[in-house]
Structure 1
Amino acid sequence: MSRLPQIDSAQAPPKQAELFAAVEKKLGRVPNLVRVIGNSTAALRGYLEFSAALGGGAGLDPQQREVLAITVAQANGCGYCLAAHCTIAKSTGLSAEAISGARTGSTQDDVHRALIQFTNAVIERRGRVDDSELAAFRAAGFSDEAVVEVVAHVSINVFTNYLNNLAETEIDFPAVPELPAAEPAAACSTSQCVSA
């Protein structure tokens, strides 16, 4: 059970109700994360506007955005965001292997590997990446626009990860298994990472 109220759309104050209606129109439902953020109209509006702006960015494609989101959620231990982004990743056409790679950091795809490594460097060093890490990211074909978008996506994903971890938001997406600490690569078979 969530430690913060999951605001019911039907009982939401007018400002939240308007924002919930926009989410429902786009997604067909109001996910529990949005209902938790709805405890603050300012946070909800900011989250939705920032998400929409980043979704229209040209630095990262939809699959790359999901690889990044899964990487951040895994790093922050956010079960809600892992479940949500593994589901969304599957809908973008990402393979189970790519989704597993985003979780474990082990992938055969050079572009995804560069994105995962750069994302982890941004997280671990709070943006203070080495020149060599920035050069490696650029060498993989990423632009300066992508560099900025990685930091922006890390920021919004840290917000949702931390809020979900604090609130213990009820997961309303297909759950994904935790990775055992001893053998992360073996723990995430293709069927487990993208449960239907």
Structure 2
Amino acid sequence: MPRIEPLRREDLPQHARTFAAVEQALGVLPNSTLTMARWPELMEAFASLNAVIMGSGRVSPVLKQMVASMVSSAAGCSYCQAHTSHVAEKRGADEEKLAHLWEFETSEHFSAAERAALRVAHGAGCVPNAVTDEDMAALRQHFSDDEVVELVAVMANFGFLNRWNDTMSTELERSPLLWAREKLSGAGWEAGAHAPAEDDLTP
């Protein structure tokens, strides 16, 4: 059950353009956006920042989403893990990769470059931060300094979202919830506090 109720989209026509852009990128308008809308300047600023970080850049969109999923998983945010994994698949991620994300160190589904990025993402999601100099050196063997900045920006971006959604107990929307239950439950994923109060969702 959310600790702060999100506002209703239909009551916020002044933000229609921002909501449409977020929905186009994610396939759904997140309840986190509608909760942030209680502070409109924050919502608009974060939507813009997120669009820059998660949009087109030097790093592939699929890797960005896997990094976002890993940092969210390490931080314990099942809300963000559901969203990022769902979007990763929409952008072309292999289903087997997503199902075995926590086994990236040993799974044959991941390249050395992906392992390096996911290793840093995992360390970045821990408290205290567990990224080592060796982890960063390995990352720089596969990515330019500009690409490393982009990857760390993804991790930091989700540091904000992980804390926001876990603290607010943001309720998962239907599509990412059903997707995560089908695709990630075998890896131990549970909605936890992010499940709807009246959880009667069926595919």
TM-score by length of 1: 0.78
Question: Structure 1's 175 and 162: CA in aligned 2 closer, same or farther, altered over 3 A?
Answer: farther
Residue of structure 2 in register with 1:192 after alignment: none
Q: After TM superposition, where is structure 1 displaced by more than 6 Å over at least 4 residues in a row?
A: 125-128
Residue of structure 1 in register with 2:6 after alignment: 6
Question: Structure 1's 137 and 25: CA in aligned 2 closer, same or farther, altered over 3 A?
Answer: closer
List runs of 5+ in structure 2 lacking aligned partners. 189-202
The two structures, once aligned, show a CA RMSD in angstroms of: 2.9
1:15-164 map, 5 Å: 16-24=15-23, 29-106=28-105, 107-108=107-108, 109=110, 110-124=112-126, 129-139=131-141, 141-164=142-165
Give, in angstroms, the shift of residue 28 of structure 1: 6.1
Residue of structure 1 in register with 2:170 after alignment: 169
- The alignment covers a number of residue pairs equal to 182
Identical amino acids, percent of aligned pairs:
27
Question: Structure 1's 74 and 27: CA in aligned 2 closer, same or farther, altered over 3 A?
Answer: closer
Question: Structure 1's 26 and 75: CA in aligned 2 closer, same or farther, altered over 3 A?
Answer: closer
Question: Any idea what the Cα deviations from partners look like across 1:137-186, whole Å, max 9, x if unmatched?
Answer: 122x2111121112211111111111111111111122535x89xxxxxx
List runs of 5+ in structure 1 lacking aligned partners. 181-186, 190-195
Question: Any idea what the Cα deviations from partners look like across 1:23-65, whole Å, max 9, x if unmatched?
Answer: 3466565221211221221221121111111134533211110
Distance in 2 of aligned mates of 1:115 and 1:138: 9
Distance in 2 of aligned mates of 1:25 and 1:114: 30
Distance in 1 of aligned mates of 2:163 and 2:72: 9
More displaced stretch, 68-77 vs 36-45: 36-45
Question: Structure 1's 62 and 72: CA in aligned 2 closer, same or farther, altered over 3 A?
Answer: same
Name the SS of the counterpart of 2:180 in structure 1: coil
TM-score by length of 2: 0.76
